[in-house]
């Protein structure tokens, strides 16, 4: 005897997929409530960097196109905060897989997509929170953005960058078998961050390094966000700097597409 | 009513390595089946196929009458899975965990909260439902894990080594929880390393070795099939134990085994024909002048049967169920 099979209409399945994703994301929100200190430490780390670079190193920095180092640094720090999110995403994914929670989700009659969609929602929400904290800190030390509409556009570009690094994090989390693998990413993220225009203008670097820094997937976002917040971006950059706004969209979109596809394949491979 | 589990010719390969090599398994509705086998026998792989986590490479697998390859989602609605490690969120409370799993079973907010309370009551965690799970003992964590597998009152429950790493009290907790479920009509497939667990809980035992079923039947049948009874003697003088073992082996017509027992030695002989064997062995030892402190004729344990099956005979020893 075969049990009767109920076919759900597509609209119902879609509705449940969204509800399931929110239920999975809700778990993270409950974590924040139970571990407010951990949330605070995570949000304050970029603030600490901002203060250190502004006050300890900023005095020795010469910014192309004039203007103060603080105004140059804030957009760079905001973009790097999005990049650092890769560690949180990867940690969450690899921990759930190692502890059998991913398998438990997969054995439930929920939408399979909700496992990663929930991760996306939760991490985007936490990034919005992180941006809010960092912007508040920047405002507190005297940074002032140019206007509301360009500022909102800048926030949009930053979140788009976060989305790209979110999918990189999901992919790396599915790839790693052990939570200790996150350490490697935590270390590698630093040369990646310094090899960009976040802390220092690419034009101040030796030729070939400047090219790498300009083409760093973060660089387009950094330059475009600087421009939108009204900080001088200087001149004399290469093609990549001239077309920063374009790259600020193209880089994250391409990275998201590639790593989302890789992640889906990796997720399906769990069934093999 | 459909069988709880019906598996025919299940094959699972990883590259060159054949993990499951044509497994046949049937668990009737309402029964408890224990899957036994050494490490690497394929127990966990079989459970993962049955619970839709991995796809088989061959064979037919139905759980609660539903094909796991063609209708995985339907299967997921009818099963509960309790894996080797408690898959619950450490940071959340027991109640928050169960509400989350209830929502993911599409019970809705109020429904999930109601079900969480029922489940906490059922596994005896009602008083500690608000505590974060990381403060729980191993046994409590396991009970919560089991509760999380029961959200939809599953028809078939899978437990993969549910008591590994638990202290005796925790083990007793889990056994009680499983017996309670069986009383409510749930069918259970459990894998275990502990034969005592199989004897305590299972109606049927299935021994897996090298990706094949090498024996199946009730614990008693399995034990009986490999040589009925055992005669145990305790010989007070260890210097004469070897001689005693040889004499007893001849008298009972079975290969003797020896192990130290207090000051003396214990000799265990499989018995082929029960009538008259005790007298024959004691007489023979008496004639040789060997003092016997104790004599027991007892059924073969599942432990002995299991060692014999997985250690000696790798061809299927099918026992009529």
| Segments of chain A scoring below 50 in pLDDT | 1-3
Chain A nearest-CA distance from B247, in A, is: 55
Q: Do B83 and A100 touch (CB under 8 A)?
A: yes
**Looking at chain B, which residue has its C-alpha nearest residue A16?**
B106
Q: Is residue B310 part of a domain?
A: no
A7 touches chain B (CB under 8 A): no
| Alpha-carbon torsion angle A44, A49, A52, A53, nearest 10 | -150
Say which of A1, A34, A103 has its CB closest to residue B2: A1
Q: Can you tell me the mean pLDDT for B68-97? A: 93
**Total number of domains constituting chain B:** 2
Among the candidates B180, B206, B223, a domain finishes at B223
Q: Would you call B53 and A106 a contact, using CB atoms and an 8 Å cutoff?
A: yes
Do residue B73 and residue A23 have CB atoms under 8 angstroms apart? Answer: no
Dmax over CA atoms of chain A, in Å, equals 79
Question: Does residue A238 sit at the B interface (CB-CB below 8 Å)?
Answer: no
B296 pLDDT band, cuts 50/70/90, is confident
Which of B192, B223, B254 finishes a domain? B223
Element (H, E) at B89: none
The phi, psi pair for B93, rounded to 5°, reads -80, 165
At B123 the pLDDT is 87
B104/A24 touch (CB, cutoff 8 Å), yes or no = yes
Indicate the pLDDT class of residue B1, thresholds 50, 70 and 90: low
| Within a domain: B314 | no
Instruction: Report pTM.
Output: 0.83
Q: Does residue B246 lie in a domain region? A: yes
Question: Do the Cβ atoms of A16 and B85 come within 8 Å?
Answer: no
The pLDDT tens digits for A121-162 are 999 999 999 999 999 999 999 999 988 999 999 999 999 999
Same domain, yes or no, for B112 and B187?
yes
Residue B196 touches chain A, beta carbons under 8 Å: no
CB contacts, 8 Å: A30 with chain B = 91-92, 96
Q: Are residues B276 and B161 in the same domain?
A: no
List the beta bridge partners of residue B11: B21, B58
Q: To probe the interface with A, which of B50, B87, B94, B109 has the most A CB atoms within 10 Å?
A: B87
B61 and B190 both lie in a single domain: yes
The DSSP H or E segment spanning B114 is helix B109-122
Closest C-alpha among B198, B129, B187, B130 to residue B161 = B198
The region, left, alpha or beta by phi > 0 then psi within -120 to 50, assigned to residue B139 is alpha
What percentage of chain B reaches a pLDDT higher than 70?
95
Same domain? For B180 and B262 the reply is no
B321 occurs within a structural domain? no
Task: Name which of B66, B86, B96 is nearest A2 (Cβ-Cβ).
Answer: B66
Kindly report the nearest CA distance between residue B227 and chain A, in angstroms: 39
How close is the nearest chain A Cα to the Cα of B200, in Å? 27
Identify the domain containing residue B245 by its residue range. 229-299
CA–CA gap between residue B1 and residue B35 (Å, rounded): 23
Q: Say if residue B80 is in the same domain as residue B210.
A: yes
Q: Tell me, yes or no, if B71 comes closer than 8 A to chain A by beta carbon.
A: yes
């Amino acid at each position: 005897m075969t049990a009767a099979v109920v076919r759900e209409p597509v609209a119902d399945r879609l509705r449940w997929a969204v509800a399931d994703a929110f239920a999975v994301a809700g778990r993270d929100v409950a974590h924040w409530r139970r571990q407010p200190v951990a949330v605070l430490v995570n949000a304050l780390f970029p603030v600490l960097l901002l203060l250190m670079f502004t006050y300890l190193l900023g005095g020795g920095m010469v910014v192309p196109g004039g203007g103060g180092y603080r105004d140059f640094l804030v957009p760079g720090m905001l973009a790097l905060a999005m990049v650092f999110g890769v560690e949180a995403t990867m940690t969450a994914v690899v921990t759930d897989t190692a502890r059998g929670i991913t398998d438990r989700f997969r054995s439930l009659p929920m939408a399979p997509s909700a496992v990663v969609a929930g991760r996306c929602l939760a991490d985007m929400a936490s990034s919005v929170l992180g941006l809010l904290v960092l912007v508040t800190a920047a405002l507190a030390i005297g940074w002032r953005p140019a206007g509301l509409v360009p500022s909102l556009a800048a926030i949009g570009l930053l979140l788009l960058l976060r989305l790209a690094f979110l999918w990189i994090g999901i992919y790396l989390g599915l790839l790693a078998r052990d939570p200790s693998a996150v350490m490697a990413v935590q270390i590698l993220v630093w040369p990646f961050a310094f090899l960009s225009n976040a802390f220092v203008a690419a034009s101040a670097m030796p030729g070939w390094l400047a090219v790498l820094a300009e083409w760093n997937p973060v660089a387009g976002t950094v330059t475009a966000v600087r421009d939108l917040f009204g900080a001088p971006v200087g001149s004399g950059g290469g093609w990549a700097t001239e077309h920063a706004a374009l790259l600020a969209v193209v880089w994250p979109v391409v990275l998201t597409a590639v790593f989302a596809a890789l992640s889906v394949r990796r997720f399906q491979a769990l069934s093999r | 009513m459909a069988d709880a589990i019906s598996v025919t010719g299940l094959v699972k390969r990883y590259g060159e390595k054949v993990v499951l090599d044509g497994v046949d398994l049937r668990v009737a509705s309402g029964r408890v089946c224990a899957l036994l086998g050494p490490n690497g026998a394929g127990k966990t792989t079989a459970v993962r196929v049955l619970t839709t986590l991995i796809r088989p490479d061959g064979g037919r697998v139905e759980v609660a009458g539903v094909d796991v390859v063609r209708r995985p989602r339907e299967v997921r609605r009818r099963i509960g899975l309790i894996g080797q490690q408690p898959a619950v969120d450490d940071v959340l409370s027991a109640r928050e965990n169960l509400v989350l799993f209830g929502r993911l079973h599409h019970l809705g907010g109020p429904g999930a909260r109601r079900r969480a309370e029922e489940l906490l009551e059922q596994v005896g965690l009602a008083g500690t439902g608000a505590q974060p799970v990381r403060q729980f003992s191993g046994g409590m964590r396991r009970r919560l894990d089991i509760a999380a597998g029961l959200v939809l009152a599953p028809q078939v429950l899978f437990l993969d080594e549910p008591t590994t790493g638990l202290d005796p009290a925790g083990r007793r907790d889990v056994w009680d929880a499983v017996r309670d479920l069986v009383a409510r009509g749930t069918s259970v497939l459990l894998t275990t390393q502990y034969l005592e667990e199989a004897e305590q809980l299972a109606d049927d035992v299935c021994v897996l070795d090298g990706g094949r079923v090498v024996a199946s039947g009730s614990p008693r049948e399995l034990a009986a099939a490999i040589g009925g009874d055992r005669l145990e003697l305790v010989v007070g003088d260890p210097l004469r134990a070897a001689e005693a073992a040889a004499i007893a082996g001849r008298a009972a017509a079975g290969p003797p085994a020896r192990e130290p027992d207090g000051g003396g030695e214990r000799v265990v002989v499989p018995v082929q024909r029960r009538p008259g064997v005790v007298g024959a062995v004691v007489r023979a030892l008496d004639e040789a002048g060997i003092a016997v402190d104790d004599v027991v004729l007892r059924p073969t344990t599942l432990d002995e049967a299991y060692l014999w099956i997985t250690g000696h005979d790798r061809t299927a020893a099918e026992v009529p169920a």
